[in-house]
């Protein structure tokens, strides 16, 4: 069975631009909530001198990930900030020092078995770099007796327009990707691995295919260039043919799915011991003179990226992430998170067309990869029909936005699905 999808303009203008060296901002604002799960608590105080790679936030919670200083400098403030999701959280503000140096704790971890491997990933602060931000060590810490995982899927689809940060990682660090795959296969005892990549990324496919010829159990899986190819459920089905049921985790169908940049990071961390303190981001949009990819320290503020971007004019819109699933940003002091993969700049204020009555064309149904019925979901939400929303399985909607994108009546279908899920979580209370 072929899943529904849509075609989007690629606009990958930065694809062949080598990644620039790390930007050195005068200060960083590092949120203690860089991940899905429980936020960290600062373990430094105002006035402390910190070094690059030093732990500055921890939590005893199972679902959490430590936060590290991304630059060397002085803790100027510990304050509340509004994050990209619009939620208030604590952040550590560090003002840079002239001399940048790594903390004494930054060294390759001693990894000898499964347990020490997972502990190392936990200490690194790694979270899912494909956007979700779930602490990676939690994903790896499955019980092989209860969950038999036989397939590692490396997600290299990167299907949203403009973003090429993962693609540049594939091209510039293809050997490191294979190294990370081998580490995951070795310590988690996974017999086979597939690199799921869209067929239009021919250069990366050629490089990876050549490397895979020398490896046992690792192969490249070409996938259609469509949206939302990179969604976890879609990736699993298109690579293995396995169907992930509502509420199920990939391990329930014998799969572990990892973003390609996450896999590369694991390889590098075990070799160098440098925690997750920087992100490769795409800087693009219709007012960017020269689209690029650049490494930036976690916590770098939007104002610093604007200086780097060489814009033709003051942007009317800024998006962290992609145009389909990213978040609009209005504060020039908004910092880059561990999960940020792109910063996009556009001219022209966002314009929401006035919705017109549904014409029952069915385009939204044909666009939905999960075979949902967006028009029926919209009606159920408008009527606050909780039982019908459950029956129509609104909770499996992944908020990809494909339904709204294709709707000729300009109805807010994807937005209504998100509101419907909030309605269910609140027990029917708006």
Q: In this predicted structure, what is the pLDDT of residue 348?
A: 86
Report cis status (omega within 30 of 0) of the bond before 343: no
**What's the rounded mean pLDDT across residues 37-41?**
95
Q: Is the pLDDT of residue 429 over 80?
A: no
Q: Is the pLDDT of residue 191 over 90?
A: yes
CB 131 within 8 A of CB 341: yes
Q: Angle at which helices 202-212 and 165-172 pack, to 10 degrees?
A: 40
Q: Which tokens go with 119?
A: 């502990």
Q: In this predicted structure, what is the pLDDT of residue 85?
A: 80
Q: In this predicted structure, what is the pLDDT of residue 144?
A: 87
Per CATH, domain 114-272 is 3.40.390.10: no
Closest CA to 397 of 369, 376, 430: 369
Rounded CA separation 287/167 (Å): 22
Distances (CA, A) of 270 to 111, 176, 180, 263, 323: 8, 11, 9, 11, 34
Q: Is the pLDDT of residue 20 over 80?
A: yes
Confidence category of residue 57, pLDDT binned at 50, 70, 90: very high
| Tens digit of each residue's pLDDT (9 = 90 or more) over 402-414 | 999 999 999 999 9
Contacts of 143 (CB under 8 A, 6+ apart): none
| Tens digit of each residue's pLDDT (9 = 90 or more) over 276-330 | 999 999 999 999 999 999 999 999 999 999 999 989 999 999 999 999 999 999 8
Rounded CA separation 102/70 (Å): 10
Q: In this predicted structure, what is the pLDDT of residue 136?
A: 98
Q: In this predicted structure, what is the pLDDT of residue 240?
A: 97
Q: In this predicted structure, what is the pLDDT of residue 311?
A: 96
Element (H, E) at 107: none
Q: Is the pLDDT of residue 200 over 70?
A: yes
Average pLDDT, the chain: 95
Distances (CA, A) of 118 to 126, 258, 350: 11, 14, 44
Strand partners, 196: 155, 221
Only one residue has tokens 């939302």, namely 228
Q: Which of 63-67, 145-149, 271-275 has the lowest mean pLDDT?
A: 145-149
CB 23 within 8 A of CB 297: yes
Q: In this predicted structure, what is the pLDDT of residue 364?
A: 97
Tell me if residue 128 falls in helix, strand or coil.
coil
Neighbours of 183 (CB within 10 A): 20
Strand partners, 423: none
Rounded CA separation 134/69 (Å): 20
Q: Is the pLDDT of residue 430 over 70?
A: no
Q: In this predicted structure, what is the pLDDT of residue 50?
A: 98
Q: Are strands 192-198 and 218-223 parallel, antiparallel or unpaired?
A: parallel
Strand partners, 69: none
Please state whether the predicted TM-score (pTM) of the whole model is above 0.85. yes
Closest CA to 161 of 220, 230, 222: 230
| Tens digit of each residue's pLDDT (9 = 90 or more) over 244-258 | 988 899 999 999 999
Rounded CA separation 427/210 (Å): 53
85 CA to centre of own chain: 14
Distances (CA, A) of 245 to 65, 194, 240: 28, 21, 14
Q: In this predicted structure, what is the pLDDT of residue 427?
A: 79
45 CA to centre of own chain: 30
Q: In this predicted structure, what is the pLDDT of residue 208?
A: 98
Neighbours of 108 (CB within 10 A): 12
* CATH 3.40.50.11540 domain extents, the chain: 114-272
| Tens digit of each residue's pLDDT (9 = 90 or more) over 127-161 | 999 877 999 999 999 988 888 999 999 999 999 99
| Tens digit of each residue's pLDDT (9 = 90 or more) over 347-368 | 987 777 899 999 999 999 999 9
Q: What percent of the chain has pLDDT over 70?
A: 99
Confidence category of residue 415, pLDDT binned at 50, 70, 90: very high
Residues written for the chain: 430
């Amino acid at each position: 069975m072929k899943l529904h999808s849509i075609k989007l303009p690629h606009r990958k203008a930065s694809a062949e631009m080598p990644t620039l060296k790390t930007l050195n901002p005068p200060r960083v604002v590092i949120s203690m909530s860089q991940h899905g799960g429980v936020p960290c608590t600062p373990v430094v105080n105002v006035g402390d001198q910190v070094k690059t790679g030093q732990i500055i936030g921890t939590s005893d919670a199972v679902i959490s990930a430590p936060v590290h200083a991304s630059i060397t400098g002085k803790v100027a403030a510990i304050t509340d900030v509004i994050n990209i999701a619009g939620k208030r959280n604590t952040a550590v503000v560090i003002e840079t020092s002239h001399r940048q140096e790594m903390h004494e704790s930054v060294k390759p971890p001693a990894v000898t078995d499964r347990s020490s491997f997972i502990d190392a990933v936990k200490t690194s602060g790694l979270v899912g770099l494909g956007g979700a931000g779930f602490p990676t060590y939690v994903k790896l810490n499955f019980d092989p007796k209860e969950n038999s995982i036989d397939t590692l899927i490396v997600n290299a689809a990167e299907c949203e327009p403009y973003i090429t940060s993962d693609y540049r990682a594939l091209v510039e660090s293809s050997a490191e990707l294979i190294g990370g795959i081998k580490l995951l296969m070795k310590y988690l005892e996974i017999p086979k691995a597939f690199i799921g990549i869209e067929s239009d990324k021919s250069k990366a496919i050629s490089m990876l295919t050549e490397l895979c010829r020398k490896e046992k159990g690792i192969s490249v899986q070409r996938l259609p260039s469509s949206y939302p190819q990179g969604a976890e459920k879609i990736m699993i089905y298109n690579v293995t043919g396995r169907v992930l049921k509502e509420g199920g985790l990939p391990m329930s169908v014998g799969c572990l799915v990892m973003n390609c940049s996450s896999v590369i990071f694991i390889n590098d961390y075990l070799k160098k011991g440098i925690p997750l303190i920087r992100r490769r981001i795409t800087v693009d949009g219709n007012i960017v003179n020269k689209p690029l990819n650049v490494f930036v320290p976690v916590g770098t503020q939007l104002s610093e990226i604007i200086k780097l971007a060489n814009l033709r004019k003051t942007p009317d819109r800024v998006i962290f992430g992609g145009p389909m699933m990213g978040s609009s940003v209005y504060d020039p002091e908004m910092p880059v998170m561990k999960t940020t993969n792109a910063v996009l700049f556009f001219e022209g204020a966002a314009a929401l067309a006035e919705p017109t009555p549904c014409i029952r064309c069915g385009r939204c149904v044909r666009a939905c990869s999960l075979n949902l019925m967006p028009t029926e979901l919209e009606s159920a939400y408008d009527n606050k029909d909780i039982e019908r929303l459950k029956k129509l399985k609104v909770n499996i909607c992944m908020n990809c936005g494909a339904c709204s994108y294709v709707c000729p009546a300009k109805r807010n279908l994807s937005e209504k699905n998100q509101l419907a899920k909030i309605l269910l979580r609140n027990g029917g209370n708006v």
